[in-house]
Structure 1
Amino acid sequence: MKKTDAIAVFGTGSDVGKSIVNAALCRSLADRGVGVAPFKSQNMSNNSGITPEGLEMGRAQIVQAQAARIVPHVDMNPVLLKPTGEMGCQVVLNGRAFANATALDYHRKKELYFKESCLAYDRLKSRYDLVVMEGAGSCAEVNLMPSDIVNFPMAAHAKAPVILVADIHRGGVFGQIVGTLACLPDAFRDMVKGFIINRFRGDITLFRDGIEWIEKQTGKPVFGVLPWYSHFRIDAEDSVEIECCPSITALDRKKPAIGVIRLPHISNFTDFHTLASIDGIELAFVDRPGDLSVFKAVIIPGSKNTRADMDWLRSSCWEESIQTHVKNQGCLLGICGGYQMLGTAIEDPQGLEGDPGTTRGLGLLPVKTILQAPKTTTLSAFEWDTIPGEGYEIHMGETQRTAGSAFFTLISRNQQPCTDFDGCIADNGQVAGTYMHGLFDTPLILKKWLNMAGIKDIDLSNVPSKEQNYAQLKDHFERYVNLGQLLDATGVRAGRQISA
Structure 2
Amino acid sequence: MGKQAVCVAVLGTGSDVGKSIVTSALCRILANQGVRVAPFKAQNMSNNSGVTAEGLEMGRAQIVQAEAARIAPHVDMNPVLLKPTSDVGSQVVLHGKAWLEASARSYYEQKAFLFQESCAALDRLRNQYEVVVMEGAGSCAEVNLMANDIVNLRAAAYAQAPVILVADIDRGGVFAQIVGTLACLSSEQQEQIAGFVINRFRGDIRLFQPGVDWIEERTAKPVFGVLPWYRHFHIEAEDAVTIENVPSYTQASQDQPAVAVIKLPHISNFTDFDPLLHTPGLELVYLQQPQDLASFAGVILPGSKSTRSDLEWLAESGWQERLLAYARGGGHVLGVCGGYQMLGSQVHDPQGIEGQPGSTRGLGLLEVETVLKAPKTTTLTDFSWAGHQGRGYEIHMGQTTLQGGRPLIEVEQRNQEACQDSDGCISADGRVIGTYIHGLFDTPAITAHWLQAIGLAEIRPDQSHGPLARDRAYEQLAEHMAEHLDVEAILALIHRQREGGAA
Correspondence 1:481 to 2:485: yes
1:4, distance to aligned residue in structure 2 (A): 7.1
Correspondence 1:459 to 2:463: no
Letter of the aligned partner of 1:127 in structure 2? Q
Q: Quick one: distance in 2 between partners of 1:422 and 1:492?
A: 52
Number of matched pairs: 496
Identify the range of structure 1 (234-243 vs 377-386) with the bigger mean alpha-carbon deviation: 234-243
Residues 46-98 of structure 1: CA distance to partner in whole angstroms, max 9, x if unpaired?
A: 00000000000000100000000000000000000000001110000000000
Letter of the aligned partner of 1:64 in structure 2? Q
For the Cα contact (< 8 Å) 1:365–1:424, is it kept in 2?
Answer: yes
1:495, distance to aligned residue in structure 2 (A): 9.1
1:242, distance to aligned residue in structure 2 (A): 2.0
Residues 356-393 of structure 1: CA distance to partner in whole angstroms, max 9, x if unpaired?
A: 11111000000000111000000100001211001000
For the Cα contact (< 8 Å) 1:33–1:496, is it kept in 2?
Answer: no
In the alignment, what sits opposite 1:433?
434
Go from structure 1 to structure 2 and tell me whether the alpha carbon gap of 1:451 and 1:214 turns closer, same or farther (over 3 Å shift).
same
1:488, distance to aligned residue in structure 2 (A): 2.1
For the Cα contact (< 8 Å) 1:5–1:492, is it kept in 2?
Answer: no
In the alignment, what sits opposite 1:178?
179
What is the DSSP-based 3-state SS (H/G/I as helix, E as strand, rest coil) of the residue aligned with 1:121? Answer: helix
Residues 415-437 of structure 1: CA distance to partner in whole angstroms, max 9, x if unpaired?
A: 11111000000001100000010
In the alignment, what sits opposite 1:29?
30
Go from structure 1 to structure 2 and tell me whether the alpha carbon gap of 1:322 and 1:3 turns closer, same or farther (over 3 Å shift).
closer
Residues 189-239 of structure 1: CA distance to partner in whole angstroms, max 9, x if unpaired?
A: 001111111000111111111111111111111111110011111111121
Residues 137-163 of structure 1: CA distance to partner in whole angstroms, max 9, x if unpaired?
A: 000111110111100111111110000
Q: Quick one: distance in 2 between partners of 1:293 and 1:243?
A: 24
In the alignment, what sits opposite 2:254?
253
Structure 2 runs not aligned, ≥5 long = none
For the Cα contact (< 8 Å) 1:34–1:494, is it kept in 2?
Answer: no
1:459, distance to aligned residue in structure 2 (A): 3.1
For the Cα contact (< 8 Å) 1:346–1:370, is it kept in 2?
Answer: yes
In the alignment, what sits opposite 1:127?
128
Correspondence 1:381 to 2:382: yes
1:247, distance to aligned residue in structure 2 (A): 2.8
In the alignment, what sits opposite 2:84?
83
For the Cα contact (< 8 Å) 1:380–1:392, is it kept in 2?
Answer: yes
Identify the range of structure 1 (72-81 vs 252-261) with the bigger mean alpha-carbon deviation: 252-261
For the Cα contact (< 8 Å) 2:5–2:126, is it kept in 1?
Answer: no
Go from structure 1 to structure 2 and tell me whether the alpha carbon gap of 1:367 and 1:4 turns closer, same or farther (over 3 Å shift).
closer
- Correspondences of 1:219-238 after superposition (within 5 Å): 219-238=220-239
What is the DSSP-based 3-state SS (H/G/I as helix, E as strand, rest coil) of the residue aligned with 1:143? Answer: coil
Go from structure 1 to structure 2 and tell me whether the alpha carbon gap of 1:8 and 1:400 turns closer, same or farther (over 3 Å shift).
same
Q: Quick one: distance in 1 between partners of 2:382 and 2:94?
A: 26
Residues 278-318 of structure 1: CA distance to partner in whole angstroms, max 9, x if unpaired?
A: 22111111111121112110000000000000011111111
In the alignment, what sits opposite 1:93?
94
Identify the range of structure 1 (480-489 vs 342-351) with the bigger mean alpha-carbon deviation: 480-489
In the alignment, what sits opposite 1:346?
347
Letter of the aligned partner of 1:163 in structure 2? I
Letter of the aligned partner of 2:380 in structure 1? L
In the alignment, what sits opposite 2:207?
206
Q: Quick one: distance in 2 between partners of 1:320 and 1:78?
A: 41
In the alignment, what sits opposite 2:360?
359
Q: Quick one: distance in 2 between partners of 1:441 and 1:4?
A: 33
Residues 257-278 of structure 1: CA distance to partner in whole angstroms, max 9, x if unpaired?
A: 0110010000001011111112
Identify the range of structure 1 (426-435 vs 402-411) with the bigger mean alpha-carbon deviation: 402-411
For the Cα contact (< 8 Å) 1:3–1:493, is it kept in 2?
Answer: no
What is the DSSP-based 3-state SS (H/G/I as helix, E as strand, rest coil) of the residue aligned with 1:127? Answer: coil
Go from structure 1 to structure 2 and tell me whether the alpha carbon gap of 1:54 and 1:494 turns closer, same or farther (over 3 Å shift).
farther
For the Cα contact (< 8 Å) 2:447–2:461, is it kept in 1?
Answer: no
Q: Quick one: distance in 2 between partners of 1:16 and 1:251?
A: 34
Go from structure 1 to structure 2 and tell me whether the alpha carbon gap of 1:13 and 1:335 turns closer, same or farther (over 3 Å shift).
same
TM-score of the pair, normalised by structure 1: 0.97
Q: Quick one: distance in 2 between partners of 1:473 and 1:242?
A: 21
Letter of the aligned partner of 2:222 in structure 1? P
Structure 1 runs not aligned, ≥5 long = none
TM-score of the pair, normalised by structure 2: 0.96
1:251, distance to aligned residue in structure 2 (A): 7.0
For the Cα contact (< 8 Å) 1:44–1:82, is it kept in 2?
Answer: yes
Q: Quick one: distance in 2 between partners of 1:14 and 1:37?
A: 22
Q: Quick one: distance in 2 between partners of 1:433 and 1:462?
A: 24
For the Cα contact (< 8 Å) 1:277–1:463, is it kept in 2?
Answer: no
1:249, distance to aligned residue in structure 2 (A): 2.7
Correspondence 1:301 to 2:302: yes
What is the DSSP-based 3-state SS (H/G/I as helix, E as strand, rest coil) of the residue aligned with 2:396? Answer: strand
Q: Quick one: distance in 1 between partners of 2:31 and 2:493?
A: 19
Identify the range of structure 1 (19-28 vs 487-496) with the bigger mean alpha-carbon deviation: 487-496
- Kindly report the root-mean-square deviation, in angstroms, between the aligned alpha carbons of the 2 structures: 1.7
Q: Quick one: distance in 2 between partners of 1:4 and 1:271?
A: 33
What is the DSSP-based 3-state SS (H/G/I as helix, E as strand, rest coil) of the residue aligned with 2:232? Answer: coil
In the alignment, what sits opposite 2:265?
264
Q: Quick one: distance in 1 between partners of 2:157 and 2:30?
A: 22
Correspondence 1:471 to 2:475: yes
Go from structure 1 to structure 2 and tell me whether the alpha carbon gap of 1:251 and 1:101 turns closer, same or farther (over 3 Å shift).
farther
1:457, distance to aligned residue in structure 2 (A): 1.1
Percent identity of equivalent pairs: 57
For the Cα contact (< 8 Å) 2:169–2:201, is it kept in 1?
Answer: yes
1:165, distance to aligned residue in structure 2 (A): 0.3
Go from structure 1 to structure 2 and tell me whether the alpha carbon gap of 1:492 and 1:32 turns closer, same or farther (over 3 Å shift).
farther
Q: Quick one: distance in 2 between partners of 1:18 and 1:141?
A: 16
1:254, distance to aligned residue in structure 2 (A): 2.0
- Correspondences of 1:152-171 after superposition (within 5 Å): 152-171=153-172
In the alignment, what sits opposite 1:9?
10
Go from structure 1 to structure 2 and tell me whether the alpha carbon gap of 1:490 and 1:180 turns closer, same or farther (over 3 Å shift).
farther
Q: Quick one: distance in 2 between partners of 1:244 and 1:179?
A: 27
